[in-house]
Structure 1
Amino acid sequence: MTLLLLIIIYLAFISLGLPDSLLGAAWPVMQPDLGAPLETAGLLFMTIAGGTIISSLISGKVLKRYGTGKVTFVSVLMTACALLGFHFAPSVGWLVVCAIPLGLGAGAVDAGLNDYVAIHYKAHHMSWLHCFWGVGATLGPIIMAQFIAEGNFWRNGYFVISSIQFALVLLLLFTLPLWKKVNNNSHIAFNENQEPTKDASNDGVHHDVKPLQIKGVKLALASFLFYCGVEATVGLWGSSFLVNVKDLSPATAAKWVSFYYVGITVGRLITGFVTFKMTNRTLIRAGQIIAFAGAVILFLPLPTIFSLVGFIVIGLGLAPIFPCMLHETPARFGKKHSQTIMGYQMAVAYTGTTFMPPLLGFIASHSTIGILPICVVLYVAAMLLSSEKLNGILKQQVLRKSL
């Protein structure tokens, strides 16, 4: 029963990833079709992410009242309806309207399922959960590229993705009783899946301190901000960069960006196995170094094919960072405050997703989209610096305890 529920959670994360990469892949074709300026994609992206921030902030109360199963069902239904709205939208204004439920639907299910898996399953399940997000994010531009190649039919791409979402809605509807059964048996089913974590709150240092006052929390938040800035910026503007700077066709650009998501997906699949041998901290550092190398490849004036290599390497590097940072939260700051800090991290992550890609779009509209590699290098460098400073603080705390 718990295995079946885990499969359903994985499928729900596929649905979460499907829309995330669609707008960036389709925008080079949508823009002239709608007669919109380049930065409009940033506005739409910001609207979606803004809805996600709002729903994630209120998700705690909603999840406690209705349960993860019902919230997931309603959220995926909202997403499906929003994507269908994108198919029929006659103007940019209607796209903005449809972007609101698309974001609201994503936030609640993301926060709810992340919390559920963090509580009930081990680290490798968290990596594999986000691997399935990558499956959806990879399939999105592949499906869209197929319709663009057939005649710039981006609306049909949205229709197909919407249909997939509605199929998952039906599955979630029929399996709603399963969540209640598993929760009733959770004291038996999940105890064996609990992973013992070194609780930083056991030292007594953090008991009377507010979460944001705990040393290192703000650095962790900065890491999440820049991580999502990199991931979302590459996903949204990658196709436009390849079309306008590297002179690729929109269909080819969409396929190349899908390989970026393949890198994230395959990387997280591998990470799930590597967590048996390596710590979260080591995987986070290794991922950041690999992502930085990919950003440098994208930045250098190399032949066009190296842009594809750069996208794939960035994706592989980003793969372990987000799930490992999430799973590391109780070990970093203690179980007492981990739930609150987890919420802060998700809110800051969505803030990065909301504002950093549109910022690049605004700057690019007044200069050139060719600045993408420069921004990616700076974002990854800032993430690495924040993370390493946090590691230094945590190391000092361990040394103090040992004295």
Structure 2
Amino acid sequence: MEHTHDSVRTATADTRRWWTLVIFAYVALEGASLQMRGSVVPVLRESFGTPDWLLGLVAPAGTIGFLVFVALTGAIAGRVNTRRLILFGIAGTGASVFVVGFTPSFAFFIAALFARGSFGGVGRGTDRPLLSHLHSGDRGKWFSYYDAMWAVGATIGPLIVTAALWLGDWRYAYYTLGVAFLPVVLLVWWLPTPSIDGDGDDPLTLDELKRVGRRPEVFVMIAGILMTTGVEGALFTWLTTFAEGRVPASFVTASLSVLLVAYIPGRFAAGALSNRIGSVRLIAGLAVLCLLSTVYTFFVASGVGVLVGLFGIGFSLSGQFPTLLAYSIGAAPEHSAPINSLSLVVSTLGIAGVPAILGFVISDAGIELAMQLLVIPLIVLVGISIAAWVRNGTAVEWQ
């Protein structure tokens, strides 16, 4: 005979699975929409006669809105209904992506990207904290799976643009992706309020902000994410430049795809290992593997060997962000949203700042030295992870 508490437990588990599906679907679609913008830049030049200096506004347009609203979302977490907030973020992101397709001018395109980034900040500022509370016992695993889904979407995004151009109009890509958000919106509307462990996020006060800010786990996260995303930003920006003349001509453009494709198995592997070996062990192991892969790629390898090294970098680098974030949130799970927002702000600074610095190095000393300098933040990352390991031991901190 089935007991009432068994039925309740089953319903709770089903609700948790559906909400996890919502979060994964959203982050994949958001990743696709983010990576599509770079693919349409050449088309914008042709469609609107936009000069290169104006095309440089494409990336900041979405990033500024994202940073502002992800920070605001983290600040108000615990005071606003999570269900309404994530519905607002998902619906707004989908609608703004769809509106991009109606672009009559470059100025309209920039405004639509700003809206997409703003709504994305609300969605991304809410979805991972919700995932944290849905799976509080194994955050590291689910955070890695979350980022793996983002990587899947990011890989597919440029392919959607390619298909749209083959059909005759880049706008088809945004129409298609915008419509793809609709089932996710309807699912959020239909689902009951998510069942989470504990009471979710507590309201953030000034005293709580000071307490959380003094946690050593938060310092480790900030430093670690700044190093890893700085390396990512440098590779995303300058890798194809480095590949020219160093790998077969047919693989120059694909070199970045090799790096990104490695993110998918890398993040699933990090998720599978997170509970088995502990966060600090995993961070340290991945950091050492990434450092060795970087040394091989930019100091030793040539030809196809560069691609092998890039796969190793992508595989080991990809698991750092979710593991560092899970490690930090484990120290203050009642403030998952503010810590998540902080991690996204820091990652944006790393992705934007390091490529700019390397630009000066490249202009003076060349691309090879610039790429070799990436070992510096990775050495720092190894040091940070070992220090955290020595301080915390080998326990699984987020439990």
Q: TM-score, normalised by structure 2?
A: 0.76
Inter-partner Cα distance in structure 2 for 1:215 and 1:393:
10
| Per-residue CA distance 1:76-117 (angstroms, 9 max, x = gap) | 3324434x37xx5765x6665444234323322222111010
Deviation for aligned residue 1:30: 7.6
Distance 1:108 1:381, change over 3 A: farther
Q: Which runs of 5+ in 1 are unaligned?
A: 195-205, 399-403
Inter-partner Cα distance in structure 2 for 1:243 and 1:98:
34
Distance 1:395 1:278, change over 3 A: closer
1:120 to 101, 122, 134: 134
SS at match of 2:353: helix
CA contact (8 A) 1:25 1:257 kept: no
Inter-partner Cα distance in structure 2 for 1:222 and 1:257:
25
| Per-residue CA distance 1:222-243 (angstroms, 9 max, x = gap) | 1111222222332233334334
Inter-partner Cα distance in structure 2 for 1:171 and 1:217:
36
**Structure 2 counterpart of 1:324:** 323
1:387 to 385, 388, 393: 385
CA contact (8 A) 2:164 2:172 kept: no
SS at match of 1:275: helix
CA contact (8 A) 2:62 2:113 kept: yes
SS at match of 2:374: helix
CA contact (8 A) 2:299 2:372 kept: no
CA contact (8 A) 2:234 2:355 kept: yes
CA contact (8 A) 1:280 1:324 kept: yes
1:133 equivalent to 2:147? Answer no
Inter-partner Cα distance in structure 1 for 2:43 and 2:226:
29
SS at match of 2:52: coil
| Per-residue CA distance 1:240-271 (angstroms, 9 max, x = gap) | 4334765735xx44433222121111111223
1:229 equivalent to 2:230? Answer yes
1:100 equivalent to 2:114? Answer yes
**Structure 2 counterpart of 1:203:** none
SS at match of 1:300: helix
Distance 1:107 1:215, change over 3 A: same
Report the residue type matching 1:137 in the other structure.
A
Deviation for aligned residue 1:336: 5.1
Distance 1:370 1:344, change over 3 A: same
Inter-partner Cα distance in structure 2 for 1:317 and 1:258:
15
CA contact (8 A) 1:142 1:255 kept: no
**Structure 2 counterpart of 1:55:** 69
SS at match of 1:18: helix
Distance 1:145 1:376, change over 3 A: farther
Q: How many aligned positions are there?
A: 365
Inter-partner Cα distance in structure 2 for 1:96 and 1:361:
25
Report the residue type matching 1:171 in the other structure.
P
Inter-partner Cα distance in structure 1 for 2:270 and 2:380:
23
1:3-402 aligned at under 5 Å gives the runs: 3-22=17-36, 36=52, 41=56, 44-60=58-74, 61=76, 64-65=80-81, 66-82=84-100, 84=101, 88=103, 96-121=110-135, 122-123=138-139, 124-143=141-160, 156=170, 159-179=171-191, 181-183=192-194, 186=195, 190-191=196-197, 210-215=211-216, 217-243=218-244, 246=247, 248=249, 252-331=251-330, 333-335=331-333, 339-361=337-359, 363-364=361-362, 368-395=366-393
| Per-residue CA distance 1:144-166 (angstroms, 9 max, x = gap) | 56788x79x9x73xx35423421
Distance 1:247 1:28, change over 3 A: farther
Q: Which runs of 5+ in 2 are unaligned?
A: 1-13, 199-206
Inter-partner Cα distance in structure 2 for 1:248 and 1:373:
19
CA contact (8 A) 2:262 2:311 kept: yes
Larger mean Cα displacement after TM superposition, 2-11 or 234-243: 234-243
CA contact (8 A) 1:26 1:254 kept: no
